[in-house]
Every structure is written in structure tokens, then in C-alpha cells.
Amino acid sequence: MATTNPGKLAEIEAVFKDFPFQVISLSSLGSPPEIVEDGRSFEENALKKARTLAEFSGYLTLADDSGLAVDALNGAPGIYSARYSGENADDARNNEKLLQALAGVPQEKRGARFICVVALRGPGSRGGREWVFRGECEGWITFEPRGENGFGYDPLFFYPPLGKTFAEIDRETKSGVSHRGKALAKLKQALPSLLHALTNP
């Protein structure tokens, strides 16, 4: 799994806990190549990471690119979500910048969606086959952070069906409704046939 984010890794491991393989994090691979996410879409960035790290590791590699698209900001921060507040961006700075950008914007215009694209790529030695899955989750941006769970923009993303932000719900509940959860559910459903295709080229 092409991530060093422990929260994201935990979500992935939970989804695939019933499959007969081990999920290995990027941090366990020694010195992986640094990847510049310069794609123009979530799909391009996810595929670039998956392709590069599949060749580096020799393993079937899952990479994702995800972000928050806010209607009042014309879809920003979008693919720049992780580095929205600059080179030294972190969750707190990103959330603070987002709230500042939406200062004075009423609730009815604070619509937003989380988007996640996951890309699965086999190494070139196994044919280099690849698959892409996309998930989205609709909500709106609160006026202040709420909740202690999750990561990223979760404290600001209000999910109407549950009446809570993503940071106010537990990981299992979030995985069932989130953008990443939806993309991974599509992958999970397809995975048996994909693994068959990889082992029987």
C-alpha cells in the first residue's frame, strides 16, 4: 500500500482483513523513490504512484489519491488537498486555511465532496496490469472543527445522513460511507477476479 499515513493504512487493512495476503506499508520498503504528484487528476496521481512503486517493490501495489472538492471554491483544494496550505502543510494548517477561505459563506453554499481514486498495479514482471476505482461522498464544510477521530479534513466534513463530521464517527462506520470506503468496496468486489487474472496471465 503506497502510503505512510497510519490512519489510511489502518482503513486499508480493515477492508482486506479476510483476504489471504499481507498489506505492506510504504515505510517497510526501505528507501522507496520519491514521487512528485504532478498529475492533473486524482486518477493520474494514483496511477503514477502505483506504477512507480510496483516496479520498485516487485509487489502488487495499491495507491490512492484523494482530496476535498468544495463548491464555493470551484472544486478547490482538489488534487492539492494535502498541500493546500503550502510546502509545510499539515492537517491543522490545511483546515485553518479552508475555514479562512470560506469565511462569511453561509451553510447552504458550503457543499463539498470527498473524492478518492484507488489504482491497483501489478509489476511489469507480472504483466503490468492495472485497474482504477473511484468513490465520492457528499457533505458540507462546518464552521469549526468537530471531533477527535480521523485525519485530514475529517473534523470539518459534515456528513448529513449521520448528522456528524467524519471526525465524530468511528473508523468502521466511516469506512462504510466514505469516499475511500466506496472506492475500496468496488476494488474488494472485483479483487478475486483481478487476482485470478494476475496469476493466470
What is the set of active-site residues? 65
What is the C-alpha separation between 137 and 14, in angstroms, rounded? 19
C-alpha cell at 7: 490512519
Assign residue 147 a region (left: φ > 0; alpha: ψ between -120 and 50; beta: otherwise): left
Residue 195: partners with Cβ closer than 8 Å, 6 or more residues away: none
**Radius of gyration (Cα) for the chain, nearest Å?**
17
Q: Which residues pair with 67 in a beta bridge?
A: 115
Q: Which residues pair with 136 in a beta bridge?
A: 115
Length of the chain: 201
C-alpha cell at 25: 506499508
C-alpha cell at 96: 485553518
